[in-house]
């Protein structure tokens, strides 16, 4: 019962915040909970879902290359100014943080609750996009490790 109340609260916050991605995600999870025998699927989705999501995002990022909107000239042009180098460094940093984030989520599930809350606040209150929980977990890992804190 508690999980239904929690999901209903998330749905309500998403509706108030007009966040269609969070609304859809919450409704999908609620529907999955209603379907018999999906209890076996939920851990699989939880475990593999991040990888599936990264794959979908990667496909979306590669589409401009496939359509010819981005080519080698654009790649070379990116290295001709500081913003391009900053983007490369940021991409490397995000990939590293994501690695630590996935490990953190697996090792310390309590982090998930705080990340969900932070993500909901960021999405609803600041009109952000819920694309960074893994990165946020990686940032949490780095800061917690740096300050020698524990969950």
Looking at per-residue pLDDT, the higher value among 8 and 124 belongs to: 8
Quick check: 65 pLDDT over 90? yes
Q: Average pLDDT for residues 30-39, to the nearest whole number?
A: 89
Res 61: pLDDT: 86
Three-class SS of residue 36?
coil
Q: What is the pLDDT of residue 133?
A: 66
Cβ-Cβ contacts under 8 Å for 99 (sequence gap 6 or more): 138
- Looking at the predicted structure, is the pLDDT value of residue 25 above 80? yes
| CA dihedral over 132, 134, 135, 141, signed as positive or negative | positive
pLDDT at 110: 75
Measured distance CA(30)–CA(7) in Å, rounded: 7
Per-residue pLDDT reduced to its tens digit, 98-120: 777 777 776 777 777 787 788 88
pLDDT value, residue 115? 78
């Amino acid at each position: 019962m508690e999980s239904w109340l929690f999901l209903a609260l998330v749905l309500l916050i998403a509706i108030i915040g007009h966040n269609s991605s969070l609304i859809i995600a919450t409704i999908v999870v609620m529907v999955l909970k209603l379907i018999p025998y999906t209890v076996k699927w939920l851990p699989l989705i939880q475990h593999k879902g991040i990888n599936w999501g990264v794959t979908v995002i990667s496909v979306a990022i590669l589409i401009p290359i496939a359509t010819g909107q981005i080519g080698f000239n654009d790649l070379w042009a990116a290295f001709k100014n500081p913003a391009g180098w900053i983007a490369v460094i940021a991409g490397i940093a995000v990939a590293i943080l994501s690695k630590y984030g996935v490990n953190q989520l697996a090792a310390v599930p309590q982090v998930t609750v705080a990340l969900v809350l932070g993500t909901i606040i960021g999405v609803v209150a600041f009109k952000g996009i819920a694309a960074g929980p893994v990165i946020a977990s990686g940032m949490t890992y780095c800061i917690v490790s740096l300050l020698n804190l524990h969950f």
